[in-house]
Amino acid sequence: MRVLVAGFQHETNTFAPTKAGWPAFVAGDAFPEFTRGAAMLERLAPTSLPMAGFMHDAAERGWTLVPSIWAGASPSAQIRREAFEHIAAMLLEDARREHYDAVYLDLHGAAVAEHVDDCEGELLARLRAVTGPALPIVCSLDLHANVGARLLRHAGALTVFRSYPHVDMAETGARAAGLLSELVGRGTFVTRSRRLPFLLPIHTQCTLLDPAAGVMADLATLEAQSGVHLGLAFGFPAADVPECGPVVFGHGHDAEAVEANVLALAENLIAEAASFAVELPDAGRAVARALRAAATATRPVIVADTQDNPGAGADANTTGLLHALLDAGAGRRFPGAVALGLMHDPEAAAAAHAAGVGERLPLRLGRSVRCPGGRDSEPPVQALATVLALHAGDVALAGPMTAGNTVHLGPSACVEIDGVRVLVTSGKGQLIDEALCRFLGVEPRALKLLVVKSSVHFRAAFATIASRIIVARAPGPMPADPAELPWTRLPQDIARRP
């Protein structure tokens, strides 16, 4: 069997400050850079991405892969029209030219372009115009997918990550191969779905903790009992499009069983909805709490700056928590044992590189950015900083979620201000791997307090080394409470919070 394979990844926060043009896909940042053809398979094989899991499983099944494109960019505001059209044109060109019996697409599921609300549904609709309605097509999706009706209609089957942090990406790709095999062997699935009438904040979608852990356990139980393939996408609650929010779906061969299990899972999630809403401390209170805990802790206390999470479209450059650390004298209390990262600030990184290791320079760190509700986040930090380490920014990752991936963060620096170490990068990256501290000379396990610009993914690598985790709410462009966003296109019957 010959399988056309392609990847397209973007999580779009339509409220975020910066759009994704074609150069963002060429660079990839958090994803492997753009590749096409045979190079794509080579580039993706050693990663932990769904495509790698699919490739491994496909090899065991003796399938031949026909590689098309890999195009992924870090989460941001809308994909620019020309970038999406370029990606779609390349995929369709390959789909017209090549010979294949089936298709696997490694998609995110929450991509919005300037001119397209549901990029994945649009891609599938265009692809179906080439392949016809009968060709088996399976797509894997991120847990944050905003699954649209067009995607459900045009895909033969979908399957979604079941963990956040996403430690099961490759496993999901392998599951997609299983679905494709079943689709080829037994023919079309019956598909049913339910859209849930609320949005879920991302920081409580963490499947290491209840209620999300319990809902995922329900999914596994229902699936095991019924044989129906179930999917649950929690949704990405910062996309001002009509189909934003959680969706449950199922595929199977017995329509009644599919319907009953989709309904059961949707009802379980509805019953748990209220426990997805959690109040968070502001930056000052979070730092005070963290310092109290750090005084007696033998392992680091971690504070998550969830509202500036670059994995959700923020630019990782707000300063609320850095100001709070400096105001509280955190670095004087635990000199050299307090760190914050990754602060995305190419100018500051360049200034540190120009100065050199050991030098002290006046530095302006971070930005004030416009936040939902029209407020601006805190001003940049202006202070004397000592350059402790410099790096070109190519970092091989080794954590449970990221092993095998390499990120290219560009010129990076560790600078110290009043005893607080700040990990500054030129590219945007989420602090989700211990290697992203160590490359700049900071040993995360030796810290008393670490502030990460991340909502949940950091837990994959850091939950086991932390004594305590505090999620904070410092002003930033990705509100922890989706109800704070200025929605204009979300249907009235979708509640802005659970």
Cβ proximity to Zn ion: between 10 and 144 the closer is 144
* 344 beta partners: 425
Distance CA 70, CA 329 (A): 46
Q: What residue is closest to Zn ion based on CB?
A: 144
For residues 375 and 318, the answer to whether their CB atoms sit within 8 Å is no
The Cα-based distances of 203 to 100, 212, 313, 481 in angstroms read: 41, 10, 14, 9
Supply 29's token pair.
């940042």
In the bound complex, what is the minimum distance in angstroms from residue 165's beta carbon to Zn ion?
9
Q: Which among 425, 442, 451 is positioned nearest to 336, based on CA atoms?
A: 442
* Structural Rg of the chain based on CA atoms: 22
Residue closer to Zn ion by CB (options 142, 171) is: 142
Q: Smallest distance, Å, CB 108 to Zn ion?
A: 7
CA distance linking residue 397 with residue 176, whole number of Å: 25
Which lies closer to Zn ion via its Cβ, residue 109 or residue 411? Answer: 109
Q: Please list the residues that pair with 12 across neighbouring strands.
A: 76
Minimal distance, residue 322 CB to Zn ion, in Å: 26
Q: Closest CB to Zn ion among 50 and 380?
A: 50
Report in angstroms how near the CB of residue 5 gets to Zn ion at its nearest. 21
Place of tokens 């061969």: 253
Quickly count: other Cβ atoms within 10 Å of residue 133's Cβ.
11
Q: In terms of CB distance, is 237 or 393 closer to Zn ion?
A: 237
The position carrying tokens 């067009």 is 150
Q: Which residues are at the interface with Zn ion (CB under 5 A)?
A: 142, 144
Question: What is the three-class DSSP state of 124?
Answer: helix
CA 305 from centroid of its chain's CA atoms: 15
Question: How far is Cα 445 from Cα 299, in angstroms, rounded to an integer?
Answer: 7
**Residue number with CB closer to Zn ion (30 or 390):** 30
Nearer residue to Zn ion within complex by CB, 144 or 162: 144
